[in-house]
Amino acid sequence: MFEVFIIRLIAMEKYSTDLEKLMISHYESLGERTRRHDAGLEALKLGFGGQKYIYTLFNLLLLKEL
């Protein structure tokens, strides 16, 4: 069985300030593992530039491939 992931390759738009505050509040209520999963999913939803934006928003370290 194959899984298909579709990633948008268009420029992403930042969330509104109110939504960012709500997301940060929700994010801080989660455990570390769930935080990483949620951040990764949000970055995928945003497409190009999403990972840097979300990881900056949540003050996470970007893990680079070795």
Express each pLDDT in 8-32 by its tens digit: 555 667 888 999 899 889 988 999 8
Mean pLDDT taken over the chain:
78
pLDDT at res. 18? 93
- State the pLDDT at residue 4: 53
* pLDDT value at residue 65: 46
Strand, coil or helix: 31? coil
3-state secondary structure of 10: coil
> Where do the structural domains in the chain lie, given as residue ranges?
17-57
Is 40:25 a contact under the CB 8 Å cutoff? no
Q: What is the mean pLDDT of residues 27-51?
A: 87
